[in-house]
Homo-oligomer: A and B are copies of this chain.
Amino acid sequence: MIRNFQELVENGDERAREICLKVATAGIERVLPEKIIKRHVRIEGNRLIVRTSSYDLRNFRRIFVVGGGKASSTMASVLYEILGDKIERGVIVDTTVREIPKVECVRGTHPIPGEGGMEGAKKIIELLKEADEDDLVICLISGGGSALLPLPVPPITLEEKKKVTDLLLRCGATINEINAVRKHISLIKGGQLARAAYPATVITLLISDVIGDPLDVIASGPTAPDASTFEDAVNVLKKYEIWNEVPNSVRERLEKGLRGEIPETPKEGDEVFRKVNNVILSNNLEALIGAAEKAKELGMNVLVLSSMIEGESREVGIAHAGILREVVKSGIPLKRPAVIISGGETTVTVKGSGKGGRAMEFVLGAIEKMRGVDNIAVLCMGTDGIDGPTDAAGAIADGKSYERAEKMGLSIEEYLKENNSYEFFRKLNDLIFTGPTGTNVSDIRVMVAL
């Protein structure tokens, strides 16, 4: 999976790096959508088994497949292997397309939503109009689904919707606040896809890229109850004093909603969810567990720290290095040879004009604290193989990285200041290249002390 594996190993403390890379790879392999679908979805006689749920296929006249996300084309393709021509028809939207019998695969864009995705989303809603009480809709959702399935309520245009998101991002609104607004101007998000599918039976298979696997946040919850209201949406825009800046069409829709002239997003207990089953097929923790098993296989003592690590990347990097140093110094919290694994998704507050991603900046933050320590390595990569707006998945470093950088005249401080982690690790030849992995369950971090 890692294209430059050997080069990365030879670039410093070989054994520590090798273990780091192998362990991370095993983690990502565990959550490749192909394996996830095959592990959790199968046919037994007339029954479709999805994790712990079971459906008698004889109850359904037709099966429709819809969905979106950066793993959705692979998910659909493997689902076709399982269900074959039992699938009547389908539409999914992904960044990479492939030929799948019965299922139309539309190319969308991520992270900026585009016309392609909107066309696909429209086709999905059209298809779901056909779905009836005796039909089964299998909805395939994975990370990126929110950007890949944009469908603003007419007359709101995609451009207008993007403008609202931009305004919210710029004024520092939280993701929950942004979603409260977006769900109320969408025909997909906030349970609206479930409404479109009603009264069909819906099984939504989710690969979660969100910490804690909240159904209403993953891909903005197309088949999950929405807790936010039109009032919330309006309050967010007023709180940040951008109510007068958003396009007229948006303001008009929200005002109509406030007056009760259009229906709310479907809430918990709503009839449209009666036959909806949201199933988390995989998540970040599963990748960490896959990584941990590999580490044990390699004879390491292993600690899985958490799949829910958040915070500013570079600072979390410093804190993680502090854990590794204690292992080296005192064998706490576990004795060497040790592997510590964590997941979740850190953030980068961009202040400079460099190039980088949250995974690389995590590693860059850790380097100074690892300085001079032998036989250790730290890695962080996006499980999707794409860290930020770069072509690399992440980066690796060891106790020699600091000195190597110094000799090359690279100031870590400067590269951090410019958020230029990509260039830093490019010069050190420590960028990890995988290409898109086809899955997306946030980040994986591996620390090794031999």
Contact = CB atoms under 8 A, between A and B. Distances in A.
Interface stretch (A76-84, A104-112, A129-137, A303-311): A303-311
Contacts of A365: 311
A323 to B, nearest CB: 4
A244 interface: no
A285 interface: yes
Contact of A319 (B285, B310, B332): B310
A332 B304 contact: yes
Contact of A285 (B306, B309, B312, B330): B330
A318 B285 CA distance: 18
B333 A322 contact: no
A8 B307 CA distance: 31
Interface string A33-77: 000000000000000000000000000000000000000000000
A317 B316 CA distance: 10
Given A285-B332, A315-B316, A329-B212, A322 B309 contact: yes
A122 interface: no
A417 to B, nearest CB: 10
A236 to B, nearest CB: 14
Interface residues of A, number: 31
Contacts of A311: 315-319, 322, 365
Contacts of A312: 312, 315, 318
Nearest to A302: B333
Contact of A306 (B306, B309, B333): B333
Nearest to A211: B322
Given A285-B332, A312-B312, A332-B285, A306 B326 contact: yes
Interface in A322-338: 322-323, 325-326, 329-330, 332-333
Contact of A305 (B285, B316, B323, B344): B323
A309 B319 contact: yes
A306 B318 contact: no
A369 interface: yes
B309 A323 contact: yes
Interface in A292-310: 303-310
Nearest to A306: B326
Given A212-B329, A285-B330, A322 B308 contact: yes
A369 B323 CA distance: 21
Interface in A310-368: 310-312, 315-323, 325-326, 329-330, 332-333, 344, 365
Given A285-B326, A285-B330, 9 more contacts: A303-B333, A306-B323, A306-B325, A306-B326, A306-B333, A309-B323, A311-B316, A315-B315, A316-B318
